Amino acid sequence: MFESVLIANRGEIARRIIRTVQRMGLKAIAVYSEADADLPFVKEADEAVLLGAPPPAEIYLDVARVLEAANQSGAHAVHPGYGFLSENAAFAQAVIDAGLVWIGPSPQAIVAMGDKVAARNLVGDAGVPIARGTREPVVDVDAAVLAANDVGYPVMVKAAGGGGGIGMSVARDEAELRTAFATAQSRAERFFGNPSILLEQYVASARHVEVQILGLAGGRVVALGERDCSVQRRHQKVAEETPCPVLTPELRARMIDAAVRAGESVGYVGAGTVEFLLDPASLATGGEFFFLEMNARLQVEHPITELVTGIDLVEQQLLAAAGEPPTFDPDAVAARGHAIELRVYAEDPKRFLPSPGTITTWIQPSGSGVRVDAGYAQGNTVTPFYDPLLAKLCVHGPDRATALERARAAVAGFQIEGLKSNLPFFVELLGDPEFVAGTYDTGLIDRMRAPKANPAS
Partner 1 sequence: MAEEVRAEMVANVWKIVVAEGDHVDDGDTLAILESMKMEIPVIAEASGTVSLKVAEGDVVQEGDLIAVIG
Q: How far is the CB of 386 from partner 1 (least distance, A)?
A: 7
The single residue of 120, 297, 343, 406 carrying the catalytic annotation is: 297
**Which amino acid is present at 128?**
V
- Build a one-symbol-per-residue string for 138-177: x at contacts with partner 1 by CB under 8 A, - elsewhere: --------------------------x-x-----------
Site string for partner 1, 181-210 (x = CB under 8 A): ------------------------------
One residue of 123, 262, 346, 444 binding partner 1 per CB under 8 A? 346
In the range 388-447, which residues lie near partner 1 by CB under 8 A? 388
Strand, helix or coil for residue 173: coil
Residue 61 binding partner 1, by CB under 8 A: no
Whichever of 23 and 234 has its CB closer to partner 1, that residue is 234
Q: Which residues 376-395 are close enough to bind partner 1 by CB under 8 A?
A: 383-388
Among 118-126, 267-275, 349-357, 434-442, which window interacts with partner 1 (CB under 8 A)?
Answer: 349-357
- Residue whose CB is less far from partner 1, 36 or 347: 347
Binding-site member from 347, 395, 406, 410 for partner 1 (CB under 8 A): 347
Instruction: Give the one residue of 52, 357, 365, 443 binding partner 1; rule: CB under 8 A.
Output: 357
Strands (E) in 82-215, as ranges, are: 101-102, 155-159, 169-171, 197-201, 207-215
User: Which CB atom, from 3 or from 446, has the smaller least distance to partner 1?
Assistant: 446
- 3-state percent breakdown (helix, strand, coil) of the chain, nearest 5: 35, 25, 40
177: closest CA among 151, 202, 153? 153
Smallest gap from residue 353 Cβ to partner 1 (A): 7
- The C-alpha atoms of residue 278 and residue 205 are separated, in whole angstroms, by 9
Stretch that binds partner 1, among 22-30, 321-329, 352-360, 442-450 (CB under 8 A): 352-360
Residue 356 sits in the site that holds partner 1 (CB under 8 A) = yes
- Reference 129, options 254, 294, 289; nearest CA is 289
Length, in residues, of the chain: 457
Residue 146 has, within 13 A of its CA and on its CB side, a CA count of: 8
Q: How far is the C-alpha of 147 from the C-alpha of 133, rounded, in Å?
A: 8
The Cα 185–Cα 182 span in angstroms is 5
User: Nearest to residue 407, comparing CAs of 374, 373, 372, 433?
Assistant: 372
Which one of the spans 93-101, 173-181, 346-354, 410-418 is the region binding partner 1 (CB under 8 A)? 346-354
Q: How far apart, in whole angstroms, are the C-alpha atoms of residue 393 and residue 412?
A: 12
Which residues within the stretch 220-279 sit at the binding site for partner 1 (CB under 8 A)?
234
Q: Which is nearer to partner 1, 351 or 452 (CB)?
A: 351
CB of 98 to partner 1, least distance (A): 29
* Interface residue with partner 1, options 284, 353, 437, 450 (CB under 8 A): 353
Write down the least CB distance from residue 387 to partner 1, Å.
Answer: 5
Stretch that binds partner 1, among 218-226, 303-311, 324-332, 350-358 (CB under 8 A): 350-358
Count the site residues for partner 1 by CB under 8 A: 17
Residues facing residue 294 across a β-bridge:
274
* CA distance linking residue 444 with residue 433, whole number of Å: 11
Single-letter residue type at 330: P
Q: Tell which one of 52, 349, 354, 443 touches partner 1 (CB under 8 A).
A: 354
Alpha helix stretches (DSSP H) within 77-140 = 89-97, 107-114, 116-125
297 is catalytic: yes
DSSP designation for 302? H
- Please identify, using beta-carbon distances, which residue of 62 and 226 lies nearer to partner 1: 62
Q: What pairs with residue 212 in β-bridges?
A: 273
**Beta pairing, strands 221-233 & 207-215:** antiparallel
How far is residue 230's CA from residue 211's CA, in Å, rounded to a whole number? 13
Q: Which helix (H) or strand (E) holds 389?
A: strand 389-397
- 290/386 with CB nearer partner 1: 386
Residues engaged in binding partner 1 (CB under 8 A): 57, 164, 166, 234, 346-347, 353-357, 383-388
Residues catalogued as catalytic: 297
